[in-house]
């Protein structure tokens, strides 16, 4: 049951309907049943793994609670054991194949007989997300940020909550558990805001991302036939695709929870308008970035152990972030590249500031902001090449062949021969324009959603109805559409 | 409390407007083929103007013309044949239709009776989903449709697009045209042939119908099960049934299926008509679009035969003089107008000759083939000319590769073969013809002694292989030239 399916919408209507009918004290039980049902439809028997993770987390949480008066030092082995077990599970399902392939490559490079075994392990949907959530919970308990949860069902719901179990956002127990324990009453405003967010998410996903995916796949699948501007465009398209795909998913998840009166943290805040790579990471996949900061970067020492250590920590965190995204060296390289961007940025910051000041450039001026945004966007764009390419060979080809300027491909109809009909390409261009305008307004602090709710009833209704009809009619869905194609659902 | 009530009312109003708009969009983007084929059924069923259903596959769609039945017998019927339909889908097509009217007679074609595939979404069934959409999309979602789809499909995901066709058609937003918007008006284009579709082509191969001496099907099949269900359902509702097998190039298994259909009909005491075994109804080489489907010529013959059979075995009421059925006459007139438009000016020579076969009783026309023409190697063309009435002179001309001329005076044929200075005179209803085949290229045809106008020679079209000329009151009303390039004909008209 994917978000882009009639089954999910039906599931959501039933879940919400029953949720608000039953007494508040029992709502979390219903949500847990619904969440497990949702996960079962996604992964069938692998629901057992999800339940096992919740049990492991619960047990280690309770173990951390046993010595409430004791020192952190005594709790540490419990925490480490819990984290190690969770990471072993993640490692087994996600990285066994990667390790085997790496060993085989090394053996091959050294002229040895490669191992004759191959890993055929199905990757459980959302495992990277819910295990990180579980680790975050144990760490918060250990650090005393939250009390250990004694009700297994509450904790289980936190890890299994259906809007986020598939691809996040990676929430914190401190935010979610109180909301499960003290559910809000039905609110028209929550319902409206949730539905609007979902609509925006569907717009991003099935109007933009899924059309971009056709263009990107078309070019990447036969990349050797392309060069110059078309390859460059493919990288830009992918940069937009991965954003609209994941942000679209996140908005549907956040909107679904909002309808239930549950607030989930934002995951994106106009990342492509960032003026630097660190800012990009404060705006992109915020729940993961903040998780890595809180549970990895800071425990590694953060910036408290000297300048060199700080730079090393950044690189470690980003390399791990890359590995978290995918079990392949291209992902590791992508993460490391972002780490190196930041290290380079830190090292050159005094020089850049000095040049700016000496040239008398206004740091808050539009021109410099624009240059910063464009440079940051391009750096991120280059990074996504390694993220999208199946291997380094393809990534290098794209990177080295995309700079030849052939702007006529924008006008000579070439874009209409990349797997999308001309009408689709035009609709896509228009939709990206809408996305850009909305992003710019949001960046300026203007909320379209809020502005809309302040309009008269008829205008609001006209916009809502037009939006719904537009999305269901022009969206890429139905027979032949792979509903499992949320990029982040495979992480 | 007031606020809550107001909120509920507003929400309901919003949902009502949303769903109304959504319904409008659904109608706009739906593929109009099902509406086109079935809309007339709903209009006639509403008036209870349908006395007979014809069920079956595309063989039935192309093989039975309800308007001809109305013209010849006054019977009102609807052709519910479905593209790619097997007996399973024909049964459900009938059930869907029975929700809207109860006919007095159901005629079911037994084609594909041997089919033993339980579900039509089984890949082995080889059913094109577009075809099933065409057959049933126009029928609104109902209890019967729900059961039909559940019975026909095994894969749940395959069912959804039939419950709600918007799932497949929403993507048509990019191909909307004027016809799509006419869905909201009264002037939408719909099939006025009462579900039938006429084919105007002729197959190019030469076939011989072989009687394989087949017996019966060896076992019950999904097809036989559903034929029985059709008969039983009709009998339970007091509807007469006729089991037929329309003519086509049947193989041994098809012939066994036809025998089995006859046997099943006999078991239930209902009449049956196996046209495969009645010689002379059609000419399999001129009356078929392809080995399975009748063209308009075959359809005319089969419908005529079937109409007579119904008149003898289970006659229906004659509605020709009933003013309430005036729209049937209007549709019939439209059909005749279409036929009239098809009788001249066809750029496809085979279609053109077929249309002359369909009806040539009120025309004078001439067919001229130049000497040394490669078209004498076109067996299909020669077959068609023979069907028009060409004598052995055509074969002589083909053997000698000399000029050939056929003149039809309201169906009376005169033909000539050979190249010579000799002049031939033919008196016709539309003038006195003088024909002289001087050479391969240069032939002469004068009318009413007007030697200034030789109708068979034009410098720029001297090498046209076949010329077809229509005459009326001494005037050539249409002159068609066909120039062959390996039996692909270029067309010119004067």
Q: Is the dihedral of CA B255, B259, B264, B270 positive or negative?
A: positive
The residue length of chain B stands at: 494
Q: What's the DSSP call for residue B128?
A: -
- The CA distance from A233 to A402, in Å, is 8
Residue whose tokens read 């900061």: A293
B19, B157, B173: which to substitute to probe chain A, counting the most A Cβ within 10 Å? B173
- Classified as helix, coil or strand, B32 is coil
Q: What is the pLDDT of residues A86-119, one digit of tens each?
A: 999 999 988 888 888 888 778 877 777 766 666 6
* Cβ contacts of A6 on chain B, cutoff 8 Å: 160, 167
* Nearest CA distance, B85 vs chain A (angstrom): 22
What is the structure's pLDDT at A106? 81
pTM: 0.82
- The CA distance from B456 to B441, in Å, is 9
B121, B129, B174: which to substitute to probe chain A, counting the most A Cβ within 10 Å? B174
* Nearest CA distance, B88 vs chain A (angstrom): 24
* Nearest CA distance, B388 vs chain A (angstrom): 48
Which residues of A touch chain B, with CB atoms under 8 Å apart?
6, 188, 421, 423-424, 427, 457, 461, 464-465, 468-469, 472-479
For residue A423 the two structure tokens come to 């009408």
Q: What share of chain B is helix, strand, coil (3-state, %, to 5)?
A: 45, 15, 40
A206, A478, A481: which to substitute to probe chain B, counting the most B Cβ within 10 Å? A478
- Classified as helix, coil or strand, B477 is strand
Tell me the Cα Rg of chain A.
24
Interchain proximity B170–A464, CB inside 8 Å: no
What is the structure's pLDDT at B110? 95
- The CA distance from B4 to B8, in Å, is 6
A104: Cα within 13 Å, side-chain hemisphere:
12
How many CB atoms within 10 Å of residue A55? Answer: 13
What is the structure's pLDDT at A483? 44
- The CA distance from A318 to A331, in Å, is 10
- Contact in structure between B407 and B433 (CB atoms under 8 Å): yes
Q: Rounded to the nearest 5 degrees, what angle is found at the Cα of A74, between the Cα atoms of A68 and A77?
A: 115
Low-confidence ranges of chain A (pLDDT < 70): 67-70, 114-119, 480-491
Facing residue for B18 by CB, picked from A427, A468, A479: A468
A208: Cα within 13 Å, side-chain hemisphere:
28
Facing residue for A473 by CB, picked from B10, B173, B175: B173
Q: Give the neighbor-by-neighbor strand order of the sheet with B77-79.
A: B77-79, B52-55, B105-109, B240-245, B272-274
- Contact in structure between B490 and B482 (CB atoms under 8 Å): yes
- List the one residue out of B111, B115, B116, B121 whose CA is nearest residue B149: B121
Per residue, the 3-state secondary structure of A267-317, as one string, reads CCCCHHHCCCHHHHHHHCCHHHHHHHHHHHHCCCCCCCCCHHHHHHHHHHH
- The CA distance from B294 to B202, in Å, is 9
What phi, psi does A164 have (nearest 5°)?
-115, -5
Residue whose tokens read 């339970």: B236
* Cβ contacts of A473 on chain B, cutoff 8 Å: 25, 29, 170, 173
Give burial (CB, 10 Å; 0-12/13-18/19+) of B113: buried
Q: Are strands B105-109 and B240-245 parallel, antiparallel or unpaired?
A: parallel
What is the structure's pLDDT at A385? 95
Residues of A marked active site are found at 325
What is the structure's pLDDT at A94? 85
The pLDDT tens digits along chain B (494 residues) read: 678 888 889 999 999 999 999 999 999 999 888 999 999 999 999 999 999 999 999 999 999 999 999 999 999 999 999 998 999 999 999 999 999 999 999 999 999 999 999 998 888 887 777 788 989 999 999 999 999 999 999 988 889 889 998 988 999 999 898 888 988 887 888 889 999 999 998 888 888 888 998 899 999 999 999 999 999 999 999 999 999 999 999 999 999 999 999 999 999 999 999 999 998 899 988 899 999 999 999 999 999 999 999 999 999 999 999 999 999 999 999 999 999 888 888 889 999 999 998 877 788 999 999 998 989 988 889 999 998 999 999 999 999 999 999 999 988 999 999 888 888 899 998 889 999 988 888 899 999 888 888 888 888 888 889 999 999 888 888 899 998 887 677 777 77
Chain B: residue whose CA lies nearest to A480: B168
- The CA distance from A31 to A44, in Å, is 18
* Nearest CA distance, A480 vs chain B (angstrom): 9
Residue environment code for A274-309, b if the CB has 16+ CB neighbours within 10 A, otherwise e: bbbbbbbbebbbbbbbbbbebbbbeebeeeeeeeee
- The CA distance from B63 to A283, in Å, is 67
* Nearest CA distance, B16 vs chain A (angstrom): 11
Cis previous bond, B242, omega within 30: no
- List the one residue out of B301, B293, B226, B299 whose CA is nearest residue B257: B226
Cα-Cα-Cα-Cα dihedral of B40, B46, B48, B49, to 10°? Answer: -20
Residue B183 CA, distance from chain mean position: 25
Facing residue for A465 by CB, picked from B7, B18, B170: B18
- List the one residue out of A165, A169, A167, A202 whose CA is nearest residue A40: A165
- List the one residue out of A72, A73, A53, A50 whose CA is nearest residue A141: A72
- Contact in structure between A209 and A250 (CB atoms under 8 Å): no
What phi, psi does A259 have (nearest 5°)?
-60, -35
- The CA distance from B302 to B247, in Å, is 8
- The CA distance from B357 to A69, in Å, is 105
Question: So what's the ipTM on this one?
Answer: 0.83
* Cβ contacts of A416 on chain B, cutoff 8 Å: none
- The CA distance from A120 to A100, in Å, is 11
Per residue, the 3-state secondary structure of chain A, as one string, reads CCCCCHHHHHHHHHHHHHHHHCCHHHHHHHHHHHHHHHHHHHHHHHHHHHHHHHHHHHHHHHHHHHCCCCCHHHHHHHHHHHHHHHHHHHHHHHHHHHHHHHHHHHHHHCCCCCCCCCCCCCCCCCHHHHHHHHHHHHHHHHHCCCCCCCCHHHHHHHHHCHHHHCCCCCCCHHHHHHHHHCCCCCCHHHHHHHHHHHHHHHHHHHHHHHHHHHHHHHHHHCHHHCCCHHHHHHHHHHHHHHHHHHHHHHHHHHHHHHHCCCCCCCCCCCHHHCCCHHHHHHHCCHHHHHHHHHHHHCCCCCCCCCHHHHHHHHHHHHHHHHHHHCCCHHHHHHHHHHHHHHHHHHHHHHHHHHHHHHCCCCCCCHHHHHHHHHHHHHHHHHHHHHHHCCCHHHHHHHHHHCCCCCHHHHCCCHHHHCCCCHHHHHHHHHHHHHHHHHHHHHHCCCCHHHHHHCCCHHHHHHHHHHHHHHHHHHCCCCCCCCCCCCHHHHC
Interchain proximity A188–B7, CB inside 8 Å: yes
- Contact in structure between B173 and A473 (CB atoms under 8 Å): yes
Angle between helices B2-29 and A457-474 (to 10 degrees): 40
Paired with B466 in beta bridges are B369, B482
Q: What is the pLDDT of residues A170-183, one digit of tens each?
A: 999 999 999 999 99
Chain B: residue whose CA lies nearest to A467: B18
* Cβ contacts of B25 on chain A, cutoff 8 Å: 469, 472-473
Chain B: residue whose CA lies nearest to A464: B18
Angstrom CA distances, B138 to A147, B56, B132, B416, B471, stand at 61, 18, 11, 55, 46
- Contact in structure between B258 and B251 (CB atoms under 8 Å): no
* B287 contacts: CB under 8 Å, gap ≥ 6: B294, B295, B297, B298, B301
* Cβ contacts of B10 on chain A, cutoff 8 Å: 457
A187, A422, A473: which to substitute to probe chain B, counting the most B Cβ within 10 Å? A473
């Amino acid at each position: 049951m994917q978000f882009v399916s009639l089954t999910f919408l039906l599931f959501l209507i039933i879940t919400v309907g029953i949720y608000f009918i039953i007494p508040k004290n029992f709502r979390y039980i219903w949500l847990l049943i619904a969440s497990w049902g949702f996960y079962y439809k996604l992964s069938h028997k692998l629901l057992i793994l999800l339940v096992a993770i919740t049990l492991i987390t619960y047990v280690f949480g309770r173990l951390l609670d046993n010595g409430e008066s004791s020192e952190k030092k005594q709790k540490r082995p419990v925490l480490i054991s819990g984290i190690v077990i969770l990471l072993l599970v993640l490692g087994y399902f996600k990285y066994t194949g990667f390790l085997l392939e790496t060993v085989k490559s090394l053996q091959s490079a050294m002229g040895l007989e490669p191992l004759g075994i191959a890993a055929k392990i199905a990757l459980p949907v959302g495992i990277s997300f819910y295990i990180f959530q579980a680790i975050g919970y144990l760490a918060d308990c250990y650090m005393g940020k939250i009390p250990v949860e004694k009700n297994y069902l509450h904790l289980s719901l936190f890890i299994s909550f259906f809007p986020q179990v598939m691809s996040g956002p990676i929430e914190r127990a401190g935010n979610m558990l109180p909301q499960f324990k003290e559910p809000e009453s039905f609110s028209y405003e929550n319902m409206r805001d949730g539905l609007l967010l979902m609509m925006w998410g569907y717009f991003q996903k099935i109007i933009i991302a899924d059309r971009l995916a056709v263009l990107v796949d078309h070019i990447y699948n036969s990349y050797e036939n392309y060069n110059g501007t078309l390859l460059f465009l493919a990288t830009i398209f992918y940069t937009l695709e991965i954003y609209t795909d994941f942000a679209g998913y996140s908005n549907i998840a956040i909107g679904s929870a909002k309808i239930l009166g549950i607030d989930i943290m934002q995951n994106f805040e106009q990342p492509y308008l960032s003026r630097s790579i660190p800012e990009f990471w404060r705006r992109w996949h915020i729940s993961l970035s903040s998780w890595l900061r809180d549970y990895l970067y800071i425990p590694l020492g953060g910036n408290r152990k000297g300048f060199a250590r700080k730079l090393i920590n950044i690189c470690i965190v980003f390399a791990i972030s890359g590995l978290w995204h995918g079990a392949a060296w291209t992902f590791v390289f992508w993460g490391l590249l972002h780490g190196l961007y930041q290290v380079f940025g830190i090292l050159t910051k005094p020089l850049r500031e000095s040049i700016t000041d000496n040239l008398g450039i206004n740091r808050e001026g539009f021109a410099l902001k624009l240059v910063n945004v464009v440079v940051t966007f391009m750096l991120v764009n280059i990074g996504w090449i390694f993220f999208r390419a199946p291997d380094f060979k393809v990534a290098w080809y794209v990177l080295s062949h995309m700079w030849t300027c052939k702007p006529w491909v924008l006008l000579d109809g070439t874009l209409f021969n990349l797997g999308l009909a001309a009408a689709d390409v035009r609709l896509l261009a228009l939709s990206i324009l809408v996305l850009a305008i909305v992003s710019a307004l949001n960046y300026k602090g203007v909320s379209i959603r809020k502005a809309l709710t302040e309009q008269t009833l008829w205008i609001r209704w006209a916009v809502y109805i037009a939006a719904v009809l537009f999305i269901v009619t022009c969206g890429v869905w139905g027979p032949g559409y792979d509903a499992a194609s949320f990029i982040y659902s495979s992480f | 409390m007031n606020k809550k009530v107001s909120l509920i009312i507003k929400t309901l109003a919003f949902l009502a407007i949303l769903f109304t708009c959504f319904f409008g969009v659904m109608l706009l983007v739906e593929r109009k083929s099902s509406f086109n084929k079935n809309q007339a059924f709903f209009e006639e069923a509403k008036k209870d103007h349908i006395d007979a259903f014809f069920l079956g596959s595309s063989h039935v769609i192309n093989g039975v013309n309800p308007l001809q039945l109305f013209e010849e017998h006054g019977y009102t019927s609807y052709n519910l044949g479905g593209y790619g339909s097997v007996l399973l889908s024909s049964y459900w097509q009938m059930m869907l239709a029975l929700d809207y009217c109860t006919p007095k007679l159901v005629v079911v074609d037994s084609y594909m009776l041997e089919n033993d595939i339980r579900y039509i979404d089984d890949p082995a069934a080889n059913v094109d989903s577009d075809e099933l959409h065409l057959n049933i999309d126009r029928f609104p979602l109902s209890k019967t449709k729900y059961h039909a789809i559940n019975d026909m499909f095994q894969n749940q995901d395959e069912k959804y697009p039939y419950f709600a066709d918007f799932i497949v058609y929403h993507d048509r937003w990019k191909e909307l045209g004027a016809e799509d918007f006419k869905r909201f008006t009264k002037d939408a284009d719909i099939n006025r042939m009462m579900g039938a579709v006429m084919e105007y082509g002729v197959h190019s191969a030469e076939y011989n119908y072989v009687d394989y001496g087949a017996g019966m099907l060896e076992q019950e099949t999904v097809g036989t099960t559903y034929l029985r269900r059709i008969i039983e359902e009709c009998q339970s509702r007091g509807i007469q049934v006729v089991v037929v097998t329309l003519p086509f190039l049947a193989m041994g298994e098809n012939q066994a299926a036809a025998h089995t259909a006859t046997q099943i009909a006999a078991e239930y005491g209902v009449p049956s008509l196996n046209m495969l075994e009645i010689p002379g109804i059609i000419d399999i080489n001129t009356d078929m679009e392809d080995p399975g489907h009748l063209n308009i010529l075959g359809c005319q013959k089969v419908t005529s035969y079937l109409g007579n059979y119904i008149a003898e075995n289970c006659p229906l009421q004659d509605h020709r003089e009933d003013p309430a059925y005036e729209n049937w006459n209007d549709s019939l007139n439209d059909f005749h107008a279409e036929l009239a438009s098809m009788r001249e000016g066809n750029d496809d020579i085979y279609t053109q000759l077929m249309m002359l076969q369909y009806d040539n009783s009120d025309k004078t026309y001439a067919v001229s083939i130049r000497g040394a023409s490669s078209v004498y190697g076109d067996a299909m063309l020669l077959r068609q000319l023979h069907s028009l009435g060409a004598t052995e002179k055509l074969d002589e001309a083909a053997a000698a590769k000399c000029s050939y001329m056929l003149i039809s005076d309201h169906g009376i044929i005169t033909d000539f073969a050979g190249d010579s200075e000799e002049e031939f005179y033919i008196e016709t209803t539309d003038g006195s013809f003088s024909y002289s085949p001087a050479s391969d290229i240069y032939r002469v045809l004068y009318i009413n002694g007007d030697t200034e106008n030789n109708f068979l020679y034009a410098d720029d079209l001297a090498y046209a292989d076949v010329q077809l000329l229509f005459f009326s009151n001494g005037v050539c009303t249409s002159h068609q030239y066909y120039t062959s390039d390996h039996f692909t004909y270029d067309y010119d008209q004067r």
